Structure formats: C-alpha cells, structure tokens
Chain A
Amino acid sequence: MKRRRPRPPVTEHSQAFSFTRRAIVLGAGQGVVAAALGARMAWISIAENERYKLLSESNRVQMRLIPPRRGWIVDRYGQPIAINRSDFRVDLIPDRLKEPERVLAELIQLLELPPDEVDRIREGLAGAAGYQPVPVAENLPFEKYAAITVRLAELPGVSPLRAFSRFYPEGPAVAHLVGYVGSPSKEDYQAENKNPLLITPGFKVGKDELEKTMEQRLRGRPGAQRIEVTAHGKLVRELSTLPDRTGGVLPLTIDIGLHTYAARRLGDQSGSIVVLDCQNGDVLAMASMPAYDPNSFSDGISHKEWDMMAEDERHPMINKVLQGLYPSGSTIKPLMSLAFLEKGISPKATVTCTGAYRVGNAIFHCDKHHGTLAMHEAIEKSCDIYFYHTSLQAGPEVISSMAHRMGFGEKFDIPVPTQRFGTVPDPEWMVRKYKRKWEMYDTINMSIGQGNVLVNPLQLAVMAARIGSGKALVPRILRGQPGGEPPPLPVTPEHLAFVRDAMKDVVNRAGTALIARLPVDGVLLAGKTGTAQVRRITMAERNSGGVRKNESLAWKMRDHSLFVGFAPYDKPRYACAVIVEHGGWGATVAAPMCRDTLTYLFDKAKAMAALTALEEQWGGTLAERMKRRADAWRPSATPPQPAETPRPAAITQNPRQPPTKVT
C-alpha cells in the first residue's frame, strides 16, 4: 500500500514564514526584471546607437529636388521670346491625398477656383500616377498662397511652392514658334526611366515645337535641398541647398519684333507669314495664326479652353507654317517660267488668251481675256492660258524638277515635332500613287499650282528666297549653326534675272499686285500673287451668271489667298511668303500683308502706323480680341471630355480636285 507522506500542518507561523520567503522571491524577480530592462536599454542605446542614429536622421532629413529654371529662348538680337517668372503655385500630390473631396472643397473655397478648372483638376487626379503632382493653380497672388500655407496641417496632399513658371511675353504670337510647356505626363515619366525630377512639383517639360524638341538643352540641372521635415511632411527648416543650374539659352534666327508684327498683321485671318533672310536662309519670322496662348497652356488648360481651340475651324492648335499644306496657286508661275526657259522655250513666244482653253473635250478657264502675251507679261498679269499652253510644250518632267530645286516637296532640317512637306507630282508619282497614267490636264493643273501640287508656307518662302538670291539656301531657325555660304542654285542666272524682272513688274508696273508696292523710297518689292481654289466650279455655275464671288460663299469654300515676294528687287535681302486661308484674292488680302511686313524691316514707324490703323478697325489688339473671344466662349458649357485629347489631325488644304476643268 502506498503511504502518504504526512503533510506539515499549515500554521499561522509557517504561513508568515512562507509569505516572507515568497515576497523575497517576488522582490528578487522584480529586481531581475529591472536589471533586464536596464540592460535592454543599454543594448539599444549603446550597441545599436549608430544604427538608430542613422534611422533617426533619415526620418528627419529629406532630399528635395529643386526644378531647374529653363533656359531662355531669345531672338537674333537677344530679345526674350520665352523667359521664367517667379510665381507662387499649389499642387496636389495624389499619394498623400487622404480625403480628396474635402481637400478639394477647401481649395475651391480658398482659391476661388472656377468650375472648369475644378474639372481639370479632377481629371488630373484620376489620371495621375502616385507621386505625380497635379497642378491646382499657378501665378497665385501672395495672399492666397499664404492662406494655403497656414492651413497646410489640415490639407494633407497639398503642396504650395515658390517656383518659376514659363512666360512668353508675346503670348499667342509665338505659340507656334516655340510651343509651350506643361506638367510631364505619365508617358513622359515612363519614357525617362522614372526620373524623379519629372514628378517634382512645379517642374515642366516642353510640350510642343522648340520647347519640346530642344528640351534637353533648355532643361538645365536640378538643384537639391536637404530639409528637415515632420512625420507629416511639413517643412521645419532648410539644412543646406545645392543650387540648380539654369538651362542653356537658345538663340533663334527670329527677329521677334518682325515676327510679332507679322502675327498681329494677320489679324483675325487664319494664315501664316514667313520671312527669310535671302543671304543665309535665316528664318526671321514664321507666324501662324490664330494661335492659343502658350502662357495659359503652360498653366494647364481646362476642357472648355481646349474644346474652344479644337473646334475652331481656323485651327489655332496647328502650326500652319509647317503643318498646313496648300495648293501653291499662281505663286508657282515664276518657277514655271524658269522651267520653260530651261526647256529652251523663248521668252518672246506669244500665246493668245481668250479666257478659255480647250484640250480634247475639256475647257480650262482664265479669269480674264488677256489677249496676246509673252512670258514677261504672262507673269505680270498672271495669265493662266499662257501657262496651260506652254506647260504642255515643256512637259511635266522639267516642271517637276524645277519645283524640287526651288524647295517644293522638301523637308527642311528644322527642329519641330511635325513637318508636312507636301507633294510635287510627276508621271511616275501618278502611277505610284493613283495607279493611272499622267494626263495632259495634270500638266495643265500643275502649271497654275493646282491639282496635286501641295506646299507649305515655308517652302513658298524658300522658293522666293532662292529665286531672289540665286542661292540654294536652306532655312534655319537656330542661331550658331555652322552655315557658310550656300551653294549657287543650279539654274541659269540669266533666267533668274528675267523672272525677277517680271516679278518686280507684278508689283511695280501694271501687274496683279500693285497694292503691294512698298511705301519705302528706293526699295522695290518683287512678288507674285496666288489664288488657290478649294472648290469645284461647275459649268452650271458659270452659265448662271458667272462664277460666284468669294464674299457670297461660306468661309470654308472661299479661295486661299497667297503671295510670295522678295525685296529689294535689285539686291534681295528678304523673302516673304503669305498664305491666308480662304482669304479670297491673293492680291487683295495676302499681298498687303507682305507689303506691311517687309515695310517693317525698312521703316518701322510706317509699318506700325499701318498696323495700328488696322487694329482699330478690327476692334483692339490681339490680346484684347483673344480675351473677348474666350469670354464669349465661356458661358456656353460643354460636357467635359478626356484631358489628353489627341491633337486634331493636321489640316489638309488640299481640295484634291482639278480646278477649272469642266467636262
């Protein structure tokens, strides 16, 4: 049997003893815990001190990039075209934004944001990637900026900043010359291997034209700032700063005074003016109007503004100098004459103009009955019949070759994102493109610059400059490019002299553009008008009281008005090309613009006086008229669409139909 060990009886005394023993054990245990805590603390603060110091520093100190100031864009005399302006701005950092609706509501109230701006911000937030900042407002007055900074603690995700913004003193006049800047898109960020600079608030990249193509040169190097921040990202103080390095200055061949003058001179017309230096190909002006305001584009543009631009039939979003293609119309005739002379056709050979010309069973028309005339007079009076007839003798090959030599169909080495260079047709091209044989009427259409001939305004100016100078010069827009004397044009100098003389008489004797005569003593302008038809004139229309006047037609149906010229006639320095879309007769619209623009180069005061008088008629300066248009647009609300609407496809000014041909 198991024997139970007798338990000692529990007495008051033994219980007190047990208590003392246990209390001492308990106290000792507590002492051990205290010692362990001390040891643990010593371990953290001595042995791991270095590591935790580092962690505490990296908590406290943040590196912040300072967006570099963009390089200036200046004209040939160092006058500013694009500069930087110090401004106060506010951005939203989507990743830090906890309650977008509440924060946005506060911002709307503090900054008095208009509804279409709010829509733009909302879309920006929807499409932004993580830390990519969405601009809320730029160019803020200090009071509003301060109102945001004092409430920063209740506005997580809002980043107020003093930064630099791009400023274009001439506004819309230079929009198509230099483009604009904007916040980098998601695609930009990916394309640059997630360069952190691209998601720095206030940083902008070039979005179009020179700002885009010259981005790397203009960008500069970012600075950096070591700042002490709280756990909520609030700046406590700056510790040290490495300054940014401003981007390189980009000097252009442009004469900004002339360029702006040309832009203003276009008025409310849709068109472009190009001025070249006949000696070296420097582009002095290349205005395309109407245009958007690059200053407001660089701030981020609302839908309304975008829609207003995109829906405008005058295409303010398109650089017409390089992306507009037009039939050359009669401005091709000097070039045509050079081809005839090269083919050995005598300049004295005459053709009789009766107003109509029959080839097979088709009749081609002229605008007048010119009677019997030779080459010089045909250029001067712009007689179509002469060119129909003589071009058939010369044949399409020599014509096409001469057109190429004058720069038609040529793509120039100009740093722009898109350049459309048009068409110079020839029999081989016809087979390739339309799978049909070259016909006689193709030659006839080509002889007056219609049919398949398509040029851009720069090419027209190059033609004028090449005829004027006799040099095979190419246009250039960046200054400081290795140039050198351009080689002579592969055209007989006597032929050029003949054509130049005829072009002088277009303006100065009894030609089509007497209106373009320069109001400057001793300087003669030589030029050629052009009227490019964009619609088909039917026989029925001719029979019922004649061809309709341009004024009676819808704007879109009217003829394009063109003019090319160079001056002074005897020692050409400047060449100019003007195209006014649907402007009507070349002589009445484009020619005076060329006259005034070139006058600016010889007698500024006279030119300005002419412009001031015109602007009064039109109802104010360019800026005033643009503002009025924008205000008129604003009330008519349209539903918002995606922010990154693709650019409207470039316009083609190609009617793609034979002009006066009636079968």
Chain B
Amino acid sequence: MRSHSPIPAPIADLPWRMLLLVTFITSFGLLVLYSAAGAHLMPWALPQGVRFVVFLGLAIAISRVPIQRIKAFAFPVYGGVLLLLLLVEVLGFVGKGAQRWLSLGFMNLQPSELMKPVIILAIARFYDLLPVAELRRFNALWPAAAMIGIPAALILIQPDLGTAVMVVAGGITVMFLAGLPLRLFAGGAAFVAVAGPIAFSFLHEYQRQRVLIFMNPEADPSGAGYHIRQSQIAIGSGGLFGKGFLNGTQSHLQYLPENHTDFIFATMAEEWGLLGGVLIIAAYALVIKWGIGVALEAKDRFSRLTAAGLTTTIFFYVAINLMMVMGLAPVVGIPLPLVSYGGSAMLTVMLCLGALMAIERNARKR
C-alpha cells in the first residue's frame, strides 16, 4: 500500500499526528515567548524556534536507529551519565558551591537532565535481561533500586529536588510496569508517608522553605510565597479567554517571576485564559496517549518498558510544572517542556520522542 504513495516511505512512515501536536505546542510556546519579551523575537522566541528545528531533526534521526542498538547502549550510556554526575559533584566540591552543569564551551551540559531518559533505558534493560521467573525474587528488586538510588542521591545533594524526584519516579514507574509484585509499591507508598516528614528535616533550608510555602502561600505573599501567589494571580486574572495577546500585566510589569521559564504557563494563561490552558493540556495529553499507545503496541519487553517509561517522563515534566504554577505542588524548578525557554528540557523531551518513534517504527516493521 505504502509503496504506491508518492511520498517516500521514510517520510510517510513518521508519526505525523504526534509531530504536529509537538509542533503546535512549541509554536504556541514561541508566541508566549514573543509576548513575554515585549513583542520581540529576541532574546527568547527566535533561539527557541531554531533549537526546536534542530532537536526535531535529532529526534527523527534517532527514530531511524534500530532498537537493538539502543538496547545495547543502555548500560554504557547509563554508566557514562553517572560518571558525569560524579564529575559535577567533584567540580562543585572543588569550586565551593552548588553546581549542576559542566561547561563544554559551546553549551552547558546538565548531566542530571540526561539521567531522566537514561534511567528509563537502564531499568528497562535490566528487566529485559532478568529471566521472567526471577521477577518475584529479591534479585529483581535490589539492583534496580541501587541503579535508581545512586544517581538520585547524587542529584539530591546538588541540590536539585525536582530532578531527583523525577528520576526516582521514572525508575519506579518502569519497575511497576516490569511486573514487580504490587505489595512492594503499596508498602513503598506507606513507607514514604511515614518517612516523608523525617526526610523533610534533611532537606536544604531553601527546599524546606519551598515546601512550607506550598502548604500556605498566603503566609508571606511578598516574601517567599511570592512566586506561587503571583503565578495564581496571573492565571486567575486571565479568566475564560484571557486578557489578550501581548496584554498580560502580571508578566509584562514583571510581577510574575521567571515568566519565560518555569512560570511560562502562567504567562500564557494570563493572555489566553482557560481556553489556551486547556488547549495545551489537551495537546500534551494526546502526545502522552500516543506514547502509551506505542508502549502497548511494542513487541518486546525492552521496547514496552522503555516506551511507557519515556512517556511517563514527559508526563512528569508537564504534570509537576503545571501543579507547581497552579499552586498544587511546591516550587521545584521543573520547566514546561517545549514551551519554557531553555534547551535542556527540550532536548530531553525530544530524545524521548525520538526513542518512542524508533520503537514505533520497529513495532510496525515486524
């Protein structure tokens, strides 16, 4: 059938629906960046657009990589990123201060960001290798727990609570999907409920502050609760249809902090209202639905786990960011992928999508 189409097969084979959704989300983001810069393409919208085109090309290139090769590289890549994390730690210790990135000259590489998709690959690969009969043994649990725990701990002491939480959540999601007994997860949840308050006392002062403010943002509106409060004011004052493109006062008068990065959703909602917000959420939901669909259609264990895990990684990005700007989660510094200005999150998400497309192609081929 396809061979009769005038469009060459490699292009026609691409999941166009998903790519259009992603392009739509990014374009909407570019509009918001344009507005946030006071109706200017610089300094945000133009670089972001260029970056998207480059990363889109990268994702399509990855989609051509055979799944066997991705599988083979899972552990070496995991080891490499873990080393980078250690390196950051050492350099940070030498440089006396928190450091999250390595300067490569042309860009700042944030290894913790790379760890988000890589942990999925590594855990998926681990359960791929594990004989099915072993699944209920202790041997099925501890190596995965260690593989998640070590990088998570390294990221937590950077300190970067948000990323650490995402790495752990991504890893646990794959463990869950791999078929570990449900009681483990129920027990784990109970353990977190008990240990959470104890862990809270080990958090950094600013992290603890953020959690407390999340509990009661009105307590100190001009102080530390300022971010959450201004963000809610921006969203709330937008109403159903928003104040109109380029008319947001919260963002343009600089009441809203980080209006082009972590809090870009509030900037968007102020000008586009509930309508714009629902459109974005729906677009993400469709992308994620596509990802879950890829996972369900995948033929082998590694592909299944990887596809579901990577989809969940994208979900965590979006969900945590939106919960943060809407006052449902503490301010943890997770951007809204594709929309927030910045390359790291966009790169991560495009890597995920590239891998998902590779899995989808592989499933279709067989």
A residues with CB within 8 A of B = 7, 9-12, 15-16, 18-20, 22-24, 26-27, 30-31, 33-34, 37-38, 40-42, 44-46, 48-49, 51-53, 55-56, 59-60, 228-232, 236
Q: B301 to chain A: which residues have CB within 8 Å?
A: 15-16, 19
The chain B residue with its CB closest to the CB of A42 is: B274
Q: Are B179 and A22 in contact (CB under 8 A)?
A: yes
Whether the pair B254, A231 counts as a contact (CB closer than 8 A) is: yes
B232 and A12 contact, CB distance less than 8 A: no
Contact of B255 among A24, A45, A59 (CB under 8 A): A59
Query: What separation, in Å, do the CA atoms of A10 and B133 have in the docked complex?
Result: 6
A-B contact pairs, 8 of them (CB 8 A): A19-B177, A19-B308, A26-B176, A34-B281, A37-B281, A59-B230, A59-B253, A231-B254
B347-360 near A? 1/0 per residue, CB < 8 Å: 00000000000000
CB of B149 within 8 Å of the partner chain: no
Query: Contact mask B212-255 → A, CB, 8 Å, 1/0?
Result: 00000000000000000010111111111000000001100111
Task: List residues 120-134 of chain B with CB under 8 A from any CB of chain A.
Answer: 132-133
With most chain A CB atoms within 10 A of its CB, the pick from B233, B235, B269, B319 is B233
Q: Looking at the complex, which of B28-36, B95-103, B285-293 is the stretch in contact with chain A? A: B285-293
Assess the A12–B233 pair: CB atoms within 8 A.
no
Known pairs A23-B296, A52-B232; A228 contacts B253 (CB<8 A):
yes
A37 partner residues in chain B, CB cutoff 8 A: 281, 319, 322-323, 326, 328
Q: Is the CB of A26 within 8 A of B312?
A: yes
Given A11-B132, A26-B177, A26-B308, the answer on whether A230 and B238 have CB atoms closer than 8 Å is no
Chain B residue at minimum C-beta to C-beta distance from A49: B239
Closest to B274 in A: A45
> Bound complex: CA of A11 vs CA of B238, how far in Å?
54
A15-B135, A31-B285, A56-B237 are known contacts. Are A45 and B308 too (CB-CB below 8 A)? no
Given contacts A45-B277, A52-B232, A236-B253, contact A15 B179 (CB under 8 A): yes
B→A interface (CB under 8 Å): 132-133, 135-136, 173, 176-179, 230, 232-240, 249-250, 253-255, 269, 273-274, 277-278, 281, 284-285, 288-289, 292, 295-296, 301, 304-305, 308, 312, 315, 319, 322-323, 326-328
Q: Across the interface, do A59 and B233 meet the contact criterion of CB distance under 8 Å?
A: yes
Contact B236 A19 (CB under 8 A): no
Complex CA distance for A45 and B237, rounded to whole angstroms:
6
Cα–Cα distance between A561 and B219 once the two chains are bound (Å): 73
Residues of chain A within 8 A (CB-CB) of B323 are 37
Q: Which of B236, B274, B285, B288 contacts A52 (CB under 8 A)? A: B236
Q: Verify B235–A41 contact, CB threshold 8 A.
A: yes
- Find out whether the CB atom of A59 lies under 8 angstroms from the CB atom of B236: no
Alpha-carbon separation in the docked complex, A11 to B295 (Å): 19
A30 cross-chain contacts in B, Cβ below 8 A: 285, 288, 292, 312, 315, 319
On whether the beta carbons of B240 and A59 are closer than 8 Å, the reply is no
Q: Are A41 and B274 in contact, with the CB atoms below 8 A? A: yes
Using Cβ atoms and an 8 Å threshold, which residues of chain A touch B250? 56, 59
Is the pair B254, A20 in contact by a Cβ cutoff of 8 Å? Answer: no
Residues of B within 8 A of A33 (CB): 315, 319
CA distance A285 to B295 in the complex (A): 101
Task: Name the B residues within 8 Å of A59 (CB-CB).
Answer: 230, 233, 249-250, 253, 255
Task: Find the residue from B237, B322, B327 having the highest chain A CB count within 10 A.
Answer: B237
- A484 → B minimal CB distance (Å): 62
Q: Which residue of A lies closest to B315 (CB)?
A: A30
Give Cα distance in the complex from A335 to B188, angstroms: 110
| Chain A proximity of B218: nearest CB distance (Å) | 11
Which of A18, A41, A45 interacts with B179 by CB under 8 Å?
A18
Question: B308 to A40, Cβ gap below 8 A?
Answer: no
Q: Which of B136, B179, B235, B236 contacts A51 (CB 8 A)?
A: B236
Known: A15-B132, A15-B135, A59-B249. A41 touches B176 (CB 8 A): no
Q: Collect the chain B residues with CB atoms within 8 Å of residue A230's CB.
A: 253-255
Contact partner of A9 among B133, B178, B232, B315, CB < 8 A?
A: B133
- Which listed residue, A22, A34, A40, A53, touches B177 by the CB 8 Å rule? A22
Partner of B253, one of A10, A48, A55, A231: A231
Bound-state CA distance A26–B308 (Å) is 9
Residue in chain B with minimal CB distance to A51: B236
Contact A23 B177 (CB under 8 A): yes
Partner of A41, one of B133, B230, B295, B326: B326
| Chain B positions within 8 Å of A22 at CB level | 176-177, 179
A48 to B236, CA, bound (A): 6
Query: Are the C-beta atoms of B296 and A53 separated by less than 8 Å?
Result: no
B136 closest partner in A (C-beta): A10
- Cα-based distance from A48 to B315 in the complex (angstroms): 27
Residue numbers in A under 8 Å from B254 (CB-CB)? 230-232
Contact partner, B308, options A12, A23, A31, A38, Cβ 8 Å: A23
Residues of B within 8 A of A24 (CB): 292, 296
Minimum distance in angstroms from A19 CB to a CB of chain B: 6
- The residue that B238 contacts in the complex, of A12, A45, A55, with Cβ under 8 A, is A45
Please measure, in the bound complex, the distance between the C-alpha atom of A236 and the C-alpha atom of B308, giving whole angstroms: 49
- Determine the chain A residues whose CB is within 8 A of the CB of B238 once the complex forms: 45
- Complex CA gap A37/B323 in Å reads 7
Q: How far is the CA of A7 from the CA of B281 in the complex (A)?
A: 42
Report B-chain residues with C-beta under 8 Å of the C-beta of A40. 326, 328
Chain A positions within 8 Å of B255 at CB level: 56, 59-60, 230-231
A313-B295 Cα distance, complex, nearest whole Å: 98
Docked CA distance A149–B277 (Å):
39
Would B269 and A38 count as touching, CB distance under 8 A? no
A18–B135 Cα distance when bound, in Å, is 12
